[in-house]
Amino acid sequence: MSDYIYTVLGWLLFLAHTSLVIGVTLRVIMKRRAVGVSLAWLALIYAIPILGVAAYILFGEVRLGRKRAERAKSMYRPYADWINVLVSRFPGQRFEVSDPVRPIYELVKARLNMPMLTGNGMLLLQRPEEILAAMQADICAARSSCYLEFYIWYPGGLADEVAYALMDAARRGLDCRLLLDSVGSADFFRSRWPKRLREAGVKVVEVLPVGALRVLFERQDLRMHRKLAVIDDEVAYTGSMNLVDPACFKQDAGVGQWVDIMLRIRGPIVPIIWSLFVWDWEMETGERLLEQLEYHPISCLDNQLKLQLLPSGPFMGGDAIAQSLLTAVYQARRRLVLITPYFVPDDPLVAALCSAADRGVEVQLVLPARNDSRMVNHACNAFFDELLQAGVEIHLYAAGLLHTKCVLVDHQFALVGTVNLDKRSLWLNFEMTLLVDDGQVMGELLRLADDYLSDARPLSWLEWRKRPLRKRVAENLFYLLSPLL
């Protein structure tokens, strides 16, 4: 009798497992995503049936939770109307978008309702102590509000000075709010700082919290990767740097200090950046701040710096950021510089880079020589053969972990912000990018790129072909998984 029961149970388990695999397979097929992504998931599901199915259930689809999805749907029209009314009040906004920038501008305007605005002022900050000191000084001088949103806040060093300044501002009666990603800022949330900040009056919110029960309803690897600060609705910061002191952060990773930039911005684009913060605040908390403030726009009309904000994420504009990147590559005529810490491109981006090199564009890809993610590093290296053979220059930066993220096109325009050149940043994470249309600022950014190149070693195709077989095997293995990284 017991043998019969075991046999029946075995068949029931087999049927249940087979039904689950077939069901997930049909789910993958019906989603009609990129063929490479679908095939990668199917290979994983059939190669490791139980773990593959579990991985797809956990990470295969974008699930931000029912409440966030409903909020995002209901929020779009009020925010779009608010931005349209705001822009109509700005003086001096009659200008021509330069021809190379126009395709991206039109795409972003259509998909995201984000305007391009002129009359902005920008300061490029490159040293971490300079960045944190400037932010601290602006918070200390604030009169009404301090809103900060970061993927990582890591306690220690100069980052603590920013926390003290934020606490003092809250005690002065200012509206101080802090959005931090649950995973990126895990060390912060385990520290004494959240309690201290809240006791001082700072509103601290943990964005996209993780947990065992949440796995059933929300995808846990979707992250809030933005870096921004808005002080008094007049000064904004964005760029690649998290709220960390590199002298204290990841010192045991063996990659050196992280190298970043931030942009300190004044002018009409600041309230647009502010609206992105309050969008994220409402998405996470349900509290609407959009209509609580009346703006009296400040315009630095002696500057002709034109900026456009490109927010991106699972519910924002679909593939607008990926399409903007591809458009930028195809717009290049003389020189194209791409600086990123993580490079795991999709096939269209690889084809675009090779095409640019084939038509005579000087394509320079600047990557850190050492990366803090071995898996991503192997996946990145898998694309080097094709790129090097096409004439793309690959430069490995050796003076630390180069964490800056920007794309520079000729002397015409740039994309600068938080987006890495990998599928996670382009399709999954909440990110932000600035489209910069200004020759003077481009000169500064190109000088920054040249500084990075002076500390980088060019990689030749002949040298690359001599790498050990074991590395080639690892790269090709992770290449197969690259659509899932």
Question: 403 catalytic, yes or no?
Answer: yes
Angstrom distances, CA of residue 359 to CA of 41, 355, 362: 35, 6, 9
Dig out the tokens for 420 from the structure: 């890495």
pLDDT of residue 473: 72
Is pLDDT above 60 for 485? Answer: no
pLDDT range class, residue 251, cuts 50, 70, 90: confident
306 catalytic? Reply is no
225 is a catalytic site residue? yes
- Catalytic residue among 306, 378, 395, 403, which? 403
Percent pLDDT > 90 in the chain is 55
Query: For the segment 378-402, what is each residue's pLDDT rounded down to a tens digit?
Result: 677 778 889 999 999 999 999 999 9
Q: Is the pLDDT of residue 476 over 80?
A: no
Average pLDDT over residues 437-444: 90
Which pLDDT value is given to residue 481? 60
Contacts for 206-213 with beta carbons within 8 Å, 24 or more apart?
206/180, 206/182, 207/149, 207/179, 207/180, 207/181, 207/182, 207/280, 207/284, 208/64, 208/181, 208/182, 208/183, 208/284, 209/182, 210/182, 210/183
- What phi-psi label fits residue 7: left (phi over 0), alpha (psi between -120 and 50 degrees) or beta? alpha
Catalytic residue among 138, 227, 346, 438: 227
Confidence category of residue 313, pLDDT binned at 50, 70, 90: confident
pLDDT tens per residue across span 185-240? 999 999 999 999 999 999 999 998 886 666 656 666 678 999 999 999 899 999 99
Per-residue pLDDT, 63: 65
Which of the following is catalytic: 405, 422, 437, 438?
405
pLDDT beyond 60 at 299: no
pLDDT on residue 364: 98
> What share of the chain in percent tops pLDDT 70?
86
* Euclidean distance between CA atoms 33 and 365, whole angstroms: 28
Q: Is 227 a catalytic residue?
A: yes
Active site residue 250: no
Residues 90-146 pLDDT 10s: 877 778 888 999 999 999 999 999 999 998 999 999 999 999 999 999 999 999 999
Q: Binning pLDDT at 50, 70 and 90, where does residue 274 land?
A: very high
Is the confidence at residue 29, as pLDDT, over 60? yes
pLDDT the model gives residue 295: 60
Neighbours of 250 (CB within 10 A): 16
296 catalytic? Reply is no
Instruction: Tell me the angle at which helices 35-47 and 2-31 cross, rounded to the nearest 10 degrees.
Output: 170
At residue 166, the pLDDT reads 98
User: Pick the residue with more confidence: 241 or 12?
Assistant: 241
Catalytic residue among 232, 260, 280, 346: 232
The predicted structure's pLDDT at residue 35: 67
> Which listed residue (225, 306, 378, 395) is catalytic?
225
